[in-house]
Amino acid sequence: MIVEVHGLELHGRHGVNDDERRDGQSFLFDVTLEIDEPKEDTIAATVDYRQVRDIVRTVNDAESHRLLETLAATAADALIEALPIKKVRVRVRKPGIAWADWTGVTCERP
């Protein structure tokens, strides 16, 4: 079973340049989780999407990352640690780049 949370927009203080870390900017998170199929029709039998949102938000707010790669990896690790999932894929996109619609990275964890 695949669970997806796409386009989670968070304000973060990440980037190589000092002004990016000082002023912050928007980041878009796309999370794809592989889980066991729920055996019953209750929220307790699956992953609560709000919990996914909260974990990613906590990672985003906890510290400033210079690289999107380390931000995505930290979020993937936190999700794997906190939730009963088989696999996770976290894409972090940085929109509003002068020379592209966005830049981004994707991290997968088994």
DSSP string, 32-69: EEE-PPPSSSSGGGS--HHHHHHHHHHHHHH---S-HH
The residue from 39, 86, 87, 94 that is catalytic is 94
Please provide the average confidence, as pLDDT, over all residues in the chain. 97
Number of domains in the chain: 1
Q: Report the pLDDT value the prediction gives residue 7, as an integer from 0 to 100.
A: 98
Nearest residue to 55 (alpha-carbon basis) of 25, 93, 24, 10: 10
Rounded mean pLDDT of 77-89?
Answer: 98
Q: What CATH number does the domain containing 14 carry?
A: 3.30.1130.10
Q: φ and ψ at 7, to 5 degrees?
A: 75, 25
94 annotated active-site: yes
pLDDT digits (tens, 9 = 90+) for 20-69: 999 999 999 999 999 999 999 999 999 999 999 999 999 999 999 999 99
Q: Which domain holds residue 32?
A: 2-109
